[in-house]
Structure 1
C-alpha cells in the first residue's frame, strides 16, 4: 500500500508515558466471545501473573447484565417485559437501563427525533427486529398504527424513583445505544480490576485506553464502506490512534433487503417510519465514550448527508460521512476530525 493510500488520525491528547519500563514488563492478552448477536473482544496489556480467567468472568457478567436489562431478543429481559406490559403501568429500572434510557431520551430531544428509542414497533414491521418477520415492505395500516404508538415524547421517565411509564403500545429499542454502553461498562470493570491499557470491541464498536507494551497506541482502522477503492488513494485507508477514545460506525452493508430495485437498510428514520432514503452509506463517529459514539452514528445517519455533517460540526463532534450516488463516493469530515489528521 502506498503512503497516499493511508491516513493517520492522532488525538492531541494521546498519552505520553513518563517511562516505558513498566509498560515493557507487560504483554498483550486477547480474549473474546459472543454476545448480543455478535462478537466481543478485549486486548489487554497484562503482567505475566494476571488472572485472565477472572477478567473474562467479569466481562461476561457485565454483558449478561446488559442483555438481561435491555435485549429485545430476550423475552425475559426488562426491556421486553416493558414492551409487553399493559397501558398505565410503571416499571422500575436497574441502574444500567436507567442510564441508557435517560441518555437515549436526551439524544432524541437533541436530534429532533432523528434518534428515537421508541422505534421498536416500526423496526419490527420492517423485519429488522427480534420477531420472525421476513424483511419486506410492511402493511401501510400497521405502519401507521406503529407510528402513532411511537414517539419519544410519549415516554415518562421518573428520574427521582428511577422508573418508566408504559402508556400503552410503546416498544423500546435501545440497540443503537446499548452496545456502546456495554463497551464502556466492560472498560469500567477492567479498569476497576487494575487493567489500564486495553482495547475493547463489541460488534465493531471500540474503545481504547492507555498504550501497548511497546508504547504505541491501539491502532484501529475505520470501517470501509461498500464501493470504497483504496488502491488509487482516492478513498484511503484511515487508521486512528484509539487512546482514551471510542469509535462507532453506522452503515448499510450488514442488514438490508432489496425490493423493487431499491435497497432498504436497517436504519429507520423514526420521523417517517421508513428506512433512510438518502445517499449516505456510512457514518463514523469518534468520541470519548462509546455510548455516545454509538448513538451519534445512528442519529447522524438518519439526519443525512447535509443535515448530519452540519449538526456534527455545530456541536464539535469528530465524524466522517461517506455518500454514494450510484457512480462515485463522496467523503466529508468535520473540523474536529480534521484536527486529528497527520
Structure 2
C-alpha cells in the first residue's frame, strides 16, 4: 500500500514469532493484492476494467470494503466517494504519481459524474459487483483502515488482546496494557514540511484515523494541493480543515469517515458526526489540537450533494 505497517503487543515471552509475523504479513498482502490501484492485476483494477452492465465476482474481503464504502458514501451525501479514481490519477496522486496532468484533470472534471453508491450495484450475498455506468474506483480512503482491522483480527485469532496496530495514519488499539494504562498515540501537528506532536490521545478498544492536507501533496501552478478529492468540485479539496481525526469502533469506519468529514468541513461535518455519534477532532490551519472532542451540535437535515442533479 505504499507504506509500512506496525504491530506492538504483549504476549508470552517464549511465543514463536515467525508464524505470527507471517500471518500479519499475509493479512496486509491480501488487502494489497485485492484493493491496490498500483497493481494492475489487483481485483479492484480488474473491476475497473470490466464493462458496464456485467456482474463481476469479487473476493469476500473486497466485497466487505465496497459495502462499507458505499454505505459511508450514502450516509455522507457523497462526500466520501470511491468513484473518483480518474480524478486521483489526473491530479498526480495515483499510480505513477507525479505532477498533475492539466488535460486529464480538465477532462475528468467535465464528465457528468454520479457518486459510486449510485453508479455501482453490489450483491453482498453472492459477492459480485455490477457497474451501471463507467466509473473508476479508488479505495485509498478506506482500504488501509481495513488492513489495520485485519492486523487486529490476526492478533486476536492468536489469543493476543493487548495490542496497537497501524498502517500509515490509521491505528487500532486492543485491550489496555497489562498495567491497566491505555495506549498513547501522538497527534501530529498539521503543518506541511514540519513533523512534531501537538498532543497525545489515549485509546483502548478503539480505532483512530486522521486525514489531512499537509503530507501527500502536489504543486501545481504555484499552489499546493492535498490528496483529498472533493467530489463536489471534481478537484482536490481547497479551503478545508488542516486535518480531521476520527475515533470509531473499527479502523475501516474511522478511515472512511475521516475523509468524508474532511470534505464536509467543521460545520456540516460536525453536525453529521454528532448525528452518527462519532468522536471527531477538526484541526484548522494555525491551531494546536490537543484532544478529541465529541460533536454536540444538532443533527442536520439529511441532504445529499447529488440530490439536485440526480434526484
Normalising by the residue count of structure 1, what TM-score does the alignment of the two structures yield? Answer: 0.79
CA contact 2:70–2:117 (8 Å) conserved in 1: yes
How far is 1:207 from its partner?
0.6
Q: Secondary structure at the match of 1:175?
A: coil
Which string of whole-angstrom CA distances, capped at 9 and with x for unpartnered residues, describes residues 120-143 of structure 1? 111111111114552254446512
CA contact 1:321–1:333 (8 Å) conserved in 2: no
- Name the structure 1 match of 2:186: 221
- Name the structure 2 match of 1:8: none
- Name the structure 2 match of 1:75: 40
Give 1 or 2 for the bigger CA radius of gyration.
Answer: 1
- Name the structure 1 match of 2:253: 292
How far is 1:146 from its partner?
4.8
Counterpart-to-counterpart distance in 1, 2:87 and 2:111: 6
- Kindly tell me: are residues 121 and 228 of structure 1, through their superposed partners in 2, closer, same or farther at Cα, counting changes over 3 Å? closer
More strand by share: 1
Counterpart-to-counterpart distance in 1, 2:277 and 2:251: 16
1:302 aligned onto 2:263: yes
CA contact 1:312–1:334 (8 Å) conserved in 2: no
Counterpart-to-counterpart distance in 2, 1:332 and 1:218: 16
Alignment equivalent of 1:170, drawn from 129, 135, 140: 135
Provide structure 2 residue ranges, at least 5 long, that are not aligned to the other structure: 297-311
Count of aligned positions = 296
How far is 1:257 from its partner?
2.0
1:329 aligned onto 2:287: yes
- Name the structure 2 match of 1:62: 27
- Name the structure 2 match of 1:211: 176
CA contact 2:148–2:170 (8 Å) conserved in 1: yes
CA contact 2:240–2:263 (8 Å) conserved in 1: no
Counterpart-to-counterpart distance in 2, 1:316 and 1:197: 26
Which string of whole-angstrom CA distances, capped at 9 and with x for unpartnered residues, describes residues 14-72 of structure 1? xxxxxxxxxxxxxxxxxxxxxx1001010010111112111111111111111111111
- Name the structure 1 match of 2:299: none
Alignment equivalent of 2:217, drawn from 232, 235, 256: 256
Alignment of 1:104-123 (within 5 A): 104-123=69-88
Counterpart-to-counterpart distance in 2, 1:279 and 1:97: 30
Alignment of 1:19-38 (within 5 A): 36-38=1-3
Alignment equivalent of 1:245, drawn from 203, 206, 209: 206
- Name the structure 2 match of 1:314: 275
Normalising by the residue count of structure 2, what TM-score does the alignment of the two structures yield? Answer: 0.87
Alignment equivalent of 1:124, drawn from 63, 85, 89: 89
Alignment equivalent of 1:179, drawn from 131, 144, 148: 144
How far is 1:260 from its partner?
3.6
Counterpart-to-counterpart distance in 1, 2:73 and 2:288: 28
- Kindly tell me: are residues 331 and 189 of structure 1, through their superposed partners in 2, closer, same or farther at Cα, counting changes over 3 Å? closer
Provide structure 1 residue ranges, at least 5 long, that are not aligned to the other structure: 1-35
How far is 1:166 from its partner?
2.8
- Name the structure 2 match of 1:11: none
- Kindly tell me: are residues 240 and 332 of structure 1, through their superposed partners in 2, closer, same or farther at Cα, counting changes over 3 Å? closer
Counterpart-to-counterpart distance in 1, 2:40 and 2:48: 10
